[in-house]
């Protein structure tokens, strides 16, 4: 069924089912339709946007600069869209994605408020049978998981959490109406990227804000500002060249070719200070060995800890906010505005859970080993079951009824991050084993979708019906991803990259640290080499 017009039917059979209508799902739909394939997208939200639909907490914005955090596939789109800030707020990114959905007429193939519950492979027909929570059933030759890396919000197993009498919100599943903190005693659990954005804004209106911190994080100032016309023109005047470089490097940061100890202490401090003053993630690229050498990393970490002491008046609070148990950047680096300064406010209290762990959530608040904190509104900024959570929430079964959950019980296994052996024609966008969360996600998504759609097209041209990863190629790729990670400092932190935030989750470093340029080359070579490492089968006659 390759007639483009058929794609708007509610037919029970399509060429491809796409799960999710965020950046990845929208682009996959657009590209499949352009090549004449029919596709149906299922999206749990009431609108497009993925994480940018759900993450509406105060201060939510992207820490990749807005001129780079956008699609590159359409010259007209990138020329016409106007970003208003250096770092786009959630509402603007969501408007952008709505604009994309309208501009490319994508909505007619998307079923909203529909969650995919099961995805089962039928060996006889070589089709995937997909069922939804609305009882809809559809079959497809291809299944594309555009489910996002950070989309399965994680509510911690805190005793008594269900007994809390006040309002509870998770940053990853925020209400669509305004939440008013005025006059309320607010508690927030977590100090990751989401909390770091929310805390300064919540503190401005809450009667009191208590921050429950388990692990302090490194927070680089964003220095967000209105996007000036010069910066916009810099990008728009030569978008093709900028985008092509970004496809090699991920995001347009100023990478250094110097190691930290190639320069003396004064020059090092100047370099850190310059990048700190400019703001944003560029700070971590001050020297090329920050992610590789602990001593180099310590110089950057010391610099940040000194800035925390500058910003926070109470030395005990400054010390409690200072990360000391992981190298800088090995838990996702955070970018914030007035984060450390917020702890100087009289209505903000920091509770270090290392000193007084949470024992329970009570009807009236949070009980630690030291005392009970009275809370009216509890914010869970406790993160996600990252990279695998959204996939494993569905009942995915491949050949011989094997479930993905069984297959990945000791950690995710796949080839190139794209396909997992025994699950033919099921593609994963920006999943484990791919650079995804370590690079600009939009670039990673475009690379994956382009590769997948070209692959589906190639199968059609050759009269093939299925593609599956070979177990040997998969083993080799898993080994390579793991070996590359262990050349860096990343495995030294208890991060969600390793699944360490989910009790019982296998401890495996999930993203590919080799970089998007190198990864793209590997994927392209595999395709050019007759899909080396994959097994292709002829169509059923």
Q: Whole-number minimum distance, CB 189 to ligand N01, in Å? A: 5
Q: Nearer to ligand N01 by C-beta: 53 or 128?
A: 53
220 makes contact with ligand N01 (CB under 6 A): no
430 makes contact with ligand N01 (CB under 6 A): no
Q: Whole-number minimum distance, CB 517 to ligand N01, in Å? A: 21
DSSP string, 52-102: HHH--STT-B-SS-TTTSS--S-HHHHHH----BSS-BHHHHHHHHHHHHH
Residue from 63, 109, 376, 468 binding ligand N01 (CB under 6 A): 63
Residue from 68, 114, 215, 299 binding ligand N01 (CB under 6 A): 215
Q: Whole-number minimum distance, CB 182 to ligand N01, in Å? A: 24
Beta strands in 327-477 (DSSP E): 334-336, 348-352, 358-362, 365-368, 372-374, 377-380, 395-397, 426-428, 464-469
**What DSSP designation does 325 have?**
S
> How far apart are the C-alpha atoms of 347 and 91, rounded to whole Å?
28
Residue from 150, 281, 320, 418 binding ligand N01 (CB under 6 A): 150
Q: Whole-number minimum distance, CB 158 to ligand N01, in Å? A: 6
Over its C-alpha atoms, the chain yields an Rg (Å, rounded) of: 23
Q: Whole-number minimum distance, CB 223 to ligand N01, in Å? A: 14
> How far apart are the C-alpha atoms of 428 and 452, rounded to whole Å?
9
Which helix (H) or strand (E) element contains residue 33? helix 23-34
Stretch that binds ligand N01, among 193-201, 266-274, 314-322, 368-376 (CB under 6 A): 193-201
Q: Which residues contact 141 (CB under 8 A, 6 or more apart)?
A: 15, 16, 126, 127, 128, 425, 465
Q: Whole-number minimum distance, CB 360 to ligand N01, in Å? A: 12
Residue from 32, 145, 186, 195 binding ligand N01 (CB under 6 A): 195
Which residue's C-beta sits nearest to ligand N01?
192
Q: Which of 153, 216, 215 is nearest to 380 (CA)?
A: 153
Binding residues among 370-399 for ligand N01 as defined by CB under 6 A: 381-384
> How far apart are the C-alpha atoms of 358 and 380, rounded to whole Å?
13
Stretch that binds ligand N01, among 187-195, 200-208, 312-320, 439-447 (CB under 6 A): 187-195
Residue from 86, 184, 185, 214 binding ligand N01 (CB under 6 A): 214
> Which position has the token pair 């008046």?
313
Q: Nearer to ligand N01 by C-beta: 119 or 510?
A: 510
94 makes contact with ligand N01 (CB under 6 A): no
Residue from 329, 368, 501, 508 binding ligand N01 (CB under 6 A): 501
Q: Nearer to ligand N01 by C-beta: 132 or 388?
A: 388
Residue from 66, 114, 129, 193 binding ligand N01 (CB under 6 A): 193
Cβ atoms 141, 426 nearer than 8 A? no
Q: Whole-number minimum distance, CB 170 to ligand N01, in Å? A: 9
How large is the angle between the packed helices 516-528 and 239-249, nearest 10 degrees?
Answer: 90
Which helix (H) or strand (E) element contains residue 266? helix 265-278
Q: Nearer to ligand N01 by C-beta: 97 or 150?
A: 150
> How far apart are the C-alpha atoms of 278 and 222, rounded to whole Å?
8
Half-sphere exposure of 497 (CA within 13 A, CB side): 26
**What DSSP designation does 384 have?**
B
Q: Whole-number minimum distance, CB 194 to ligand N01, in Å? A: 3
Q: Which residues bind ligand N01 (CB under 6 A)?
A: 62-63, 150, 156, 158, 171, 189-195, 197, 214-215, 332, 335, 353, 358, 381-384, 437, 496, 501
């Amino acid at each position: 069924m390759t007639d483009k017009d058929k794609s708007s039917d509610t037919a029970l059979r399509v060429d491809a089912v796409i799960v999710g209508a965020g950046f990845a799902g929208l682009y996959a739909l657009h590209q499949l339709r352009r090549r004449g394939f029919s596709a149906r997208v299922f999206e749990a939200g009431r609108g497009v946007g993925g994480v940018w639909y759900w993450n509406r907490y105060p201060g939510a914005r992207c820490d990749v600069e807005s001129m780079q955090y956008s699609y590159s596939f359409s010259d007209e789109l990138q020329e016409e869209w106007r970003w208003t800030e250096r770092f786009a707020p959630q509402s603007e990114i969501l408007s952008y994605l709505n604009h994309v959905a309208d501009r490319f007429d994508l909505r007619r193939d998307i079923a909203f408020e529909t969650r995919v519950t099961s995805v089962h492979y039928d060996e006889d027909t070589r089709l995937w049978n997909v069922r939804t929570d609305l009882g809809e059933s559809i079959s497809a030759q291809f299944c594309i998981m555009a489910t996002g890396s950070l989309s399965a919000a994680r509510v911690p197993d805190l005793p008594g959490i269900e007994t809390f009498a006040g309002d509870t919100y998770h940053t990853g599943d925020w209400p669509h109406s305004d939440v008013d903190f005025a006059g309320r005693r607010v508690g927030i659990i977590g100090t990751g990227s989401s909390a770091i954005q929310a805390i300064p804004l919540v503190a401005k209106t809450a009667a009191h804000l208590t921050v429950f911190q388990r692990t302090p994080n490194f927070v680089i100032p964003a220095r967000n500002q209105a996007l000036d016309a010069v910066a916009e023109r810099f990008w728009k005047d030569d978008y093709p060249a900028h985008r092509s470089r970004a496809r090699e490097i991920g995001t347009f940061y100023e990478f250094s070719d110097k190691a930290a100890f190639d320069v003396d202490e004064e020059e090092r401090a100047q370099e850190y200070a310059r990048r700190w003053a400019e703001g944003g993630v560029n700070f971590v690229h001050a020297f090329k060995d920050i992610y590789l050498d602990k001593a180099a990393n310590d110089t950057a970490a010391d610099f940040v800890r000194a800035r925390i002491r500058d910003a926070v008046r109470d030395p005990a609070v400054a010390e409690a906010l200072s990360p000391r148990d992981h190298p800088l950047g090995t838990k996702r680096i955070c970018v914030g505005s007035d984060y450390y300064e917020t702890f100087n406010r009289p209505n903000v209290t920091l509770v270090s859970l290392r000193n007084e762990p949470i024992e329970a959530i009570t009807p009236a608040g949070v009980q630690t080993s030291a005392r009970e904190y009275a809370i009216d509104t509890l914010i869970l900024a406790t993160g996600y079951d990252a990279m695998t959570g959204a996939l494993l929430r569905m009942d995915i079964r491949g050949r011989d009824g094997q479930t993905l959950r069984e297959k990945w019980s000791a950690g995710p296994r796949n080839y190139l991050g794209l396909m997992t052996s025994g699950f033919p024609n099921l593609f994963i966008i920006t999943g484990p084993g791919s650079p995804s969360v370590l690079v600009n996600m939009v670039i990673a998504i475009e690379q994956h979708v382009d590769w997948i759609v070209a692959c589906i097209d190639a199968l059609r041209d050759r009269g093939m019906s299925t593609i599956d990863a070979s177990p040997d190629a998969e083993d080799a790729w898993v080994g390579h991803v793991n070996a590359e990670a262990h050349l860096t400092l990343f495995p030294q932190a208890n991060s969600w990259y390793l699944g360490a935030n989910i009790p019982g989750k296998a401890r495996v470093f999930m993203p590919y640290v080799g970089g998007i340029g190198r990864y793209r080359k590997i994927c392209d070579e595999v395709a050019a080499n007759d899909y080396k490492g994959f097994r292709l089968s002829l169509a059923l006659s």
